[in-house]
């Protein structure tokens, strides 16, 4: 069986611009699971059909089917029985591998181990507590960025654990999702570590998503998606509910992690280029490396689901995906307006908008959708270099001390 891999580096979308609209893979017919669903003891939560297509006669999976299916047959799991969603084979067996791309990403991510307190924060503490080094707007940038991220990664982790995990029905992707959830916990730890180290008002930062509109709007947009999937009565298996799962994946991997994070990342890294808050930027740098892999993994999941279930990716769903990414971009531009109304060195809302449009175009391309914005040039090429360097240096073969010293970015002013 031909396996798909939609991996693209941050620059590949640009390098392959002439062919970017062509599908990366040819849809391959998927053999549905052949193991019949056995009689199971009555489930406490009856399956709820969110919606059913006229030609869709599948029975939605229920919580507990995992367990029932494990002992439904004495036959060993065949690779073609595995599926991204609505799989009725035993989900507890990693082998035989079908989704090799997911396993390879898991192995790669496993080598990314780092800890926030391995990055010394003393220089940033000195800058933050000194008069006259940071402008008021720069202080607001740091606080708003840390305030958004202080809860944002928890939203992502909750979406995985409370929503996605039980609905993605193969052990390879589930293994990666477990690791991603752990990395999101580490990211929340890193932001808390920065906030505590800098002596910020913790309750202000951790309540920002409820008290600052532009932060709250992004969080509410994400939470709405999680609330659908985390409903214990929600199950996939119908046209409408399968589409809701796909929407959730697009929301989190293309918008929340794929757009909502990028204004904050760019702002903090921009300050570091001016020699300000360099250690906070190093924390962000480590997180960006993880996030880049999360986005690529999510795109793989979305495209694999599309390949296995081409009926889901009709004109209506494509329009929905475009609308969601556009909504996300507008919310992120609002966040930029709110966070740096006058701009900081070399960075303003207009440039940020162009950058976000450039990023959004890449998300469209990755989903084999047409670009929606006239933003052919990245105004912050150093962001791409940062992400790419992090991928290319032997992060995955070194410990954190090595890549802080030998493989990291030189943050001196003018180095980029
Ligand atoms: Fe994260
Ligand atoms: Fe993430």
Instruction: Report DSSP letters for 305-367, one per residue.
Output: HHHH-GGGSSHHHHHHHHHHHHHHHHHHHHHHHHH-SS-BTTB-HHHHHHHHHHHHHHHHHHT
Distance 129 CA to ligand 2 centre (A): 30
Distance 178 CA to ligand 1 centre (A): 13
pLDDT tens profile 298-331? 999 999 999 999 999 999 999 999 999 999 999 9
Most confident of 27-36, 75-84, 352-361: 352-361
pLDDT band of 271, cuts 50, 70, 90: very high
Q: Which ligand is nearest to the CA of 252?
A: 2
Tell me which residues have their CB within 5 A of the ion that is ligand 2.
257, 291, 294
Picking from 282, 286, 251, the residue whose alpha carbon sits closest to that of residue 268 is 282
**Percent residues over pLDDT 90 in the chain:** 69
Picking from 379, 354, 337, the residue whose alpha carbon sits closest to that of residue 141 is 337
Cα(192)–Cα(255) distance, rounded to whole angstroms?
A: 23
Most confident of 61-65, 170-174, 382-386: 170-174
Please provide residue 344's backbone torsions phi and psi, each rounded to the nearest 5 degrees. Answer: -120, 175
pLDDT, position 210: 92
Domain spans of the chain? 102-405
Tokens of 141: 């940038």
**pLDDT: which is higher, 412 or 318:** 318
Q: Are 90 and 171 in contact, with CB atoms under 8 Å apart?
A: no
Tokens of 149: 């991220």
Q: Which of 193, 262, 373, 403 is catalytic?
A: 193
Distance 61 CA to ligand 1 centre (A): 30
Q: Which ligand is nearest to the CA of 258?
A: 2
pLDDT, position 59: 60
- The architecture (CATH level 2) of 102-405 comes to Orthogonal Bundle (1.10)
For the question of whether the overall pTM of this predicted structure is more than 0.75, the answer is: yes
pLDDT, position 61: 61
- Average the pLDDT over 154-174 and give the result: 97
Cα(113)–Cα(345) distance, rounded to whole angstroms?
A: 33
Q: Which ligand is nearest to the CA of 292?
A: 2
Distance 175 CA to ligand 2 centre (A): 15
pLDDT tens profile 343-382? 997 799 999 999 999 999 999 999 999 999 999 899 999 8
Number of other residues whose CB lies within 10 A of the CB of residue 36: 10
In this predicted structure, the answer to whether residue 411 has a pLDDT above a threshold of 50 is no
Cα(110)–Cα(165) distance, rounded to whole angstroms?
A: 19
Picking from 197, 341, 338, 347, the residue whose alpha carbon sits closest to that of residue 272 is 347
Question: Average pLDDT of the chain?
Answer: 82
Distance 217 CA to ligand 2 centre (A): 19
pLDDT, position 77: 85
Q: Are 232 and 45 in contact, with CB atoms under 8 Å apart?
A: yes
Cα(205)–Cα(147) distance, rounded to whole angstroms?
A: 4
- Average the pLDDT over 55-84 and give the result: 73
**Is 193 a catalytic site residue?**
yes
In this predicted structure, the answer to whether residue 393 has a pLDDT above a threshold of 50 is no
My answer on whether omega of the bond before 96 falls inside 30° of 0, hence cis, is yes
pLDDT band of 241, cuts 50, 70, 90: very high
- Average the pLDDT over 82-103 and give the result: 93
């Amino acid at each position: 069986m031909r396996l798909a891999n939609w991996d693209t580096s941050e620059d590949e979308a640009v390098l392959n611009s002439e062919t970017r609209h062509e599908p990366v893979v040819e849809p391959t017919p998927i053999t549905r699971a052949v193991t019949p669903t056995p009689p199971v003891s009555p489930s406490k939560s009856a399956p709820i059909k969110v919606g059913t297509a006229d030609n869709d006669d599948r029975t939605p999976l229920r919580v507990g089917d995992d367990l029932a299916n494990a002992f439904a047959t004495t036959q060993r799991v065949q690779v073609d029985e595995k599926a991204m969603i609505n799989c009725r084979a035993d989900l507890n067996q990693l082998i035989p591998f079908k989704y090799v791309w997911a396993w390879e990403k898991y192995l790669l991510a496993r080598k990314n181990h780092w800890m926030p307190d391995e990055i010394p924060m003393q220089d940033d503490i000195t800058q933050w507590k000194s008069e006259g080094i940071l402008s008021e707007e720069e202080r607001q940038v740091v606080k708003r960025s840390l305030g958004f991220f202080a809860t944002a990664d928890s939203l992502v982790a909750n979406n995985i654990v409370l929503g996605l995990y039980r609905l993605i029905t193969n052990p390879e992707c589930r293994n990666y999702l477990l690791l991603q959830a752990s990395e999101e916990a580490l990211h929340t730890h890193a932001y808390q570590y920065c906030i505590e180290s800098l002596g910020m008002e913790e309750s202000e930062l951790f309540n920002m998503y409820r008290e600052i509109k532009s932060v709250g709007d992004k969080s509410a947009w994400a939470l709405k998606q999680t609330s659908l999937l985390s409903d214990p009565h929600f199950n996939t298996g119908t046209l409408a509910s399968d589409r809701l799962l796909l929407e959730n994946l697009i929301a989190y991997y293309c918008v929340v992690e794929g757009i909502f994070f990028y204004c904050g990342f760019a702002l903090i890294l921009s300050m570091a280029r001016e020699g300000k808050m360099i250690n906070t930027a190093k924390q962000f740098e480590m997180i960006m490396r993880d996030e880049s892999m999360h986005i690529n993994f999510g795109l793989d999941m979305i495209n694999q689901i599309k390949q296995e279930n081409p009926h889901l990716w009709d004109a209506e769903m494509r329009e929905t995906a475009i609308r969601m990414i556009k909504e996300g971009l507008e919310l992120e531009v609002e966040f930029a307006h709110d966070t740096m109304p006058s701009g900081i060195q070399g960075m303003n809302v207009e440039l940020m908008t162009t950058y976000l449009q450039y990023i959004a175009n890449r998300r469209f391309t990755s989903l084999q959708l047409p670009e929606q914005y006239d933003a052919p040039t990245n105004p912050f090429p150093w962001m791409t270099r940062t992400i790419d360097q992090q991928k290319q240096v032997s992060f995955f073969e070194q410990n954190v001390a090595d890549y802080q010293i030998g493989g990291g970015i030189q943050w001196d002013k003018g180095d980029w």
